[in-house]
Structure 1
Amino acid sequence: MAQASNCESCMYYEYNEEYECYECGINLDEDEMMQFLSNSCQRCAHFKFGDEYSIVRKQI
């Protein structure tokens, strides 16, 4: 089930140091990638809320 999403609060939204930009860490298909690149994705099936604290807790 797709849910309302904001890429900046998704745990899969990662910074790519090589390209110096943020990108989705999920292996998106062609249609999903077009939505991501055009910023028209209102509902993402892969969205998972994450913040720095929840990610760090998993690493401990």
Structure 2
Amino acid sequence: MAEASNCEMCNNFVYDDEDECYVCDMDLDEDDMVRFLMGNTASCPYYQSNDEYLIVRHQM
């Protein structure tokens, strides 16, 4: 089951001190970058939940 992604909840969405903003830490290709910039991230192949308790809740 593919999980809907939200960049703000992704482990790959990190703060860049040099640019002083949040960026995707993955090496995106051109199509992925356009999708990221347009906000169409529901099918992001790089999404990783930063919810540490997701597995625990799934096992309950």
TM-score when scaled to structure 2? Answer: 0.75
Counterpart of 2:18 in structure 1 is: 18
Between Structure 1 and Structure 2, which shows a larger proportion of strand residues? 1
Deviations 1:14-36 (A, max 9, x none): 00111111010000000000110
Superposition deviation, residue 2 in structure 1? 5.0
- 1:2–1:45 contact (8 Å) kept in structure 2: no
Kindly, what percent of the aligned residue pairs are identical? 44
Q: Which residue of 2 aligns with 1:32?
A: 32
* Contact 2:11 2:49 (C-alpha < 8 Å) held by counterparts: yes
Give 4+ residue runs of structure 1 displaced > 2 Å after superposition. Answer: none
Unaligned runs of 5+ in 1: 55-60
| Unaligned residue ranges in structure 2 (runs of 5+) | 53-60
Please, what is the CA RMSD of the aligned residues?
Answer: 1.7
The amino acid across from 2:3 in the alignment is: Q
Q: TM-score normalised to the size of structure 1? A: 0.75
Tell me if structure 2 keeps the 8 A contact 1:2–1:44: no
Residues paired across the two proteins, number: 52
